[in-house]
Amino acid sequence: MSADVDRIFDTLAEHRAREAGATLPGLFAADPERFNRFSLRLDDLLLDYSKTSLTETTRALLLDLARAAGVEAKRDAMLSGVPINLTEKRAVLHTALRRRAGEVVLVDGQDVMPEVAGVLAAMGVFAEGVRAGTVTGEGGERFTDVVNIGIGGSDLGPAMATLALAPYHDGPRLHFVSNVDGAHLYDTLKSLDPKTTLFIVASKTFTTQETMANARSARAWLAGALGEKAVGSHFAAVSTALDKVAAFGIASDRIFGFWDWVGGRYSIWSAVGLPLMIAIGTEAFRSFLDGATDLDAHFATAPLEENLPVLLALTGIWHRDICGYATRAVIPYDQHLARLPAYLQQLDMESNGKRVTREGKPVSHDTGPVVWGEPGTNGQHAFFQLIHQGTSPVPVEFLIAARGHEPGLERHHAMLMANCLAQSEALMRGRTLEEARDQLLAKGVGAEEADRLAPHRVFPGSRPSVSIAYGILDPYALGRIIALYEHRVFVEGAIWDINSFDQWGVELGKELADTLLPAVESGVAPPSLSGSSAGLLAHLTAQAVA
Ligand code: F6P
């Protein structure tokens, strides 16, 4: 991290200390134009960050920080195929997957777009064939159910997006099996008919323990019912490791490839999106890609101060590094986005949960926050108590559509919207001791009792939130929202000067799981195992036979 960046971080901390007395209601009272000054629009997509403690000075300093960190140059390097993933020596080009036909994107001097278009076309033929019933099972029966077997990026993207676009889902039923816990596969298969079930095995590496175990067991289930020769017609695969897929026995015309320059958590735009394409069709899938590519164009060209992902990232940096908030909550007031928080957990925490810079030196500022959330209004009746009155402020990111899809239930949408607005308003406004006491007195509570109860009813207020609003959650809007978050993660990583595109932190646990499997199966702990793990293994081994 450059000295300039460190200096601006210090200036921001001093600025925060100077502004410590400011309140959010005070900022709004002082500036009737605050909403207009602290929100950005890209037609129907609105980012409102006026309910944060950012002032004109804060924003100017944060923009200086982004410039000093070289965000623009780093962005341009990513978008033009420079191998910015230094530890894996790879380009980072998920954005190429959503570019429109005819555009050129070079990797090592080669235009990758013809191959991208080729896979997309092959996916389209297969997906439309499944949807129309021309691609069938071994017995010629139409597929009624598609089971995606994958984990992490090979699961969360299509699972999140399929739920998000449920109103556009007119293809066969979709199921997602990820966990190595046999319950996940067993519970999914028990209601399915092998004759009408298609499996898609999705794994970038085609080595992931969970996915391979589930794929082998699914294959045994199918072959047990229909015979080994049925496997070819009931399995398809998505991977970069085409040789490994072929060795698993999946026919080459059922294999949809992608490339090492697509990170797992950025792969929904690739063949990993095949289940989504089967669910919503090729046209809607293209619209999903179009939303993302249009957001990419905005990210690439809008000045930093008008750039939605940049401003979303700068609020993140402000909250994480200057205000010291360790977590951020993502609360979609949109039931169809129920899996978005889980999707963003991988996107954000696997990308920016890093402790060394791109050069391998310890970072000088805190990096990725804990990302968590649940849809509203459910969260209000669970953890919002802490967000309103707990001792650690949690910046909240609200997502809300102007319109729902549900005919006859328009009033539900009005209630949803009212709740969403009410939460950010309450967080911002708070309630003083006097107001709490007066409210109790107005309800006829006696003075002594009002004094006793009032402290419990105080809300500190000035709790920050950002709102992201859009017209309706259609494929185009979803594409834009995901790309917005992808680039936000990128900008934050660029400011921290970390590599947001590797994930070495998942390796140690994977290695140990591989070495521990024989110990679990034999019940004999290796001498290297800690006392705790050996004790747990002994207990579980004893209980397993009970
Ligand atoms: O373990 C982490 C991870 O490598 C993720 O980055 C990835 O999305 C997931 O596992 C699944 O990997 P694959 O697609 O290779 O099976």
Q: For the residues of 446-482, what is the DSSP string, one character each?
A: -HHHHHHHGGGG-B-----EEEEEES---HHHHHHHH
Q: In what order do the strands lie in the sheet with 255-257?
A: 173-177, 145-149, 197-202, 235-239, 255-257
CA dihedral 360, 361, 365, 371 (to 10 degrees): 20
The two tokens of residue 27 are 């900022």
**What torsion, rounded to 10 degrees, do the Cα atoms 455, 461, 463, 466 define?**
140
Angle value at C-alpha 254, between 136 and 510, nearest 5 degrees: 120
Q: Which pLDDT score, from 0 to 100, does residue 521 have? A: 92
Q: Which ligand 1 atom is at minimum distance from the Cα of 503?
A: 6
Q: Is the pLDDT of residue 1 over 70?
A: no
Which residue do the tokens 């996107």 mark? 347
What tens digit of pLDDT does each residue of 398-457 get? 999 999 999 999 999 999 999 999 999 999 999 999 999 999 999 999 999 999 999 999
Which atom of ligand 1 is least distant from the CA of 154? Answer: 14
CA-to-CA dists, residue 456 to 408, 427, 447, 459, angstroms: 40, 16, 15, 8
Where would I find the beta strands (DSSP E) of 70-115?
Answer: 106-107, 110-111
Amino acid at 107: V
CB 373 within 8 A of CB 341: yes
| Distance between Cα 263 and ligand 1 center (Å) | 9
Cβ–Cβ under 8 Å, residues 371 and 344? yes
> By alpha-carbon position, which residue is closest to atom 16 of ligand 1?
203
Q: How far apart are CA 120 and CA 274, in angstroms?
A: 9
Ligand 1 atom closest to 506 (CA): 1
Determine the distance separating the centroid of ligand 1 and the alpha carbon of 458, expressed in angstroms: 45
Closest atom of ligand 1 to 156 CA is 8
Phi and psi angles of residue 474, each rounded to the nearest 5 degrees, phi first: -100, 175
Name the residue with tokens 């999914």: 188
Give the span between the Cα atoms of 507 and 510, in whole angstroms.
Answer: 5
Mean pLDDT, to the nearest integer, of 308-312?
98
Tell me the catalytic residues: 350, 381, 510
Q: Which residue has the higher pLDDT, 249 or 62?
A: 62
Q: What is the pLDDT of residue 136?
A: 96
Query: What φ, ψ does residue 255 adopt, rounded to 5°?
Result: -110, 125
- Of the pLDDT bands very low, low, confident and very high (cuts 50, 70, 90), residue 474 is very high
Judged against a pLDDT cut of 70, whether residue 212 lies above it is answered with yes
Cα of 161 from ligand 1 centre, angstroms: 18
Average pLDDT of the residues in 213-239 = 96
The residue behind tokens 């009410």 is 422
Ligand 1 pocket test, pick from 148, 178, 204 with the greatest ligand atom count within 8 Å of Cβ, gives 204
First to last CA, the chain: 57
Crossing angle of the two packed helices 71-79 and 475-496, in degrees rounded to 10:
130
Max Cα-Cα span within the chain: 82
Q: What is the pLDDT, as a whole number, of residue 214?
A: 98
State percent of the chain over pLDDT 70.
100
> 209 alpha carbon to ligand 1 midpoint, in Å?
10
Residues with C-beta less than 6 Å from any ligand 1 atom: 151-154, 203-205, 208, 211, 264-265, 350, 503, 506
> Is it the case that residue 114 has pLDDT exceeding 90?
yes
- Closest by Cα among 279, 299, 301, 281 to 291: 299
- What does the alpha-carbon distance between residue 540 and residue 536 come to, in Å, rounded to a whole number? 6
Give the tokens for residue 389. Answer: 């009155």
Task: Give the per-residue pLDDT at 249.
Answer: 86
CA of 78 relative to ligand 1 center, distance in Å: 21
How confident is the model over 249-295, as pLDDT tens digits?
Answer: 898 899 999 999 999 999 999 999 999 999 999 999 999 999 999 99
Looking at the CA of residue 208, tell me the nearest atom of ligand 1.
Answer: 16
Per the CB < 8 A criterion, the answer to whether 42 and 298 are in contact is yes
330 touches 373 (CB < 8 A) = yes
The H-or-E segment that residue 99 falls in is none
pLDDT > 90 in the chain, percent:
95
Q: Quick check: 101 pLDDT over 90? A: no
The per-residue pLDDT for 116 is 96
- Residue 306: what pLDDT? 98
Position 2 scores a pLDDT of 85
**Smallest Cα–Cα separation from 156: which of 264, 317, 34?**
264
How many angstroms separate the alpha carbon of residue 128 from the centre of ligand 1?
Answer: 28
Please calculate the CA angle 261-264-268 and round it to the nearest 5 degrees: 95
pLDDT at residue number 546:
64
Output phi, psi for 208, to 5 deg.
-60, 125
ipTM of predicted complex: 0.98
pLDDT value of residue 20: 87
Tens digits of residue pLDDT in 155-205: 999 999 999 999 999 999 999 999 999 999 999 999 999 999 999 999 999
pLDDT in tens, 346-391: 999 999 999 999 999 999 999 999 999 999 999 999 999 999 999 9
Distance of CA 425 to the CA centre of its chain: 26
CA dihedral 28, 391, 440, 443 (to 10 degrees): 80
Structure tokens at 334: 């949109």
Q: Write down the pTM of the prediction.
A: 0.97
Which of 258, 503, 510 is the pocket-test mutation for ligand 1 (most atoms within 8 Å of CB)? Answer: 503
Torsion of CA 94, 95, 98, 99, to 10 degrees: -140
Helix H or strand E encompassing 401: strand 396-401
Q: Which one of 154, 203, 211, 239 would you pick to mutate in the ligand 1 pocket, going by the greatest count of ligand atoms within 8 A of its CB?
A: 154
Whole-angstrom Cα Rg for the chain:
25
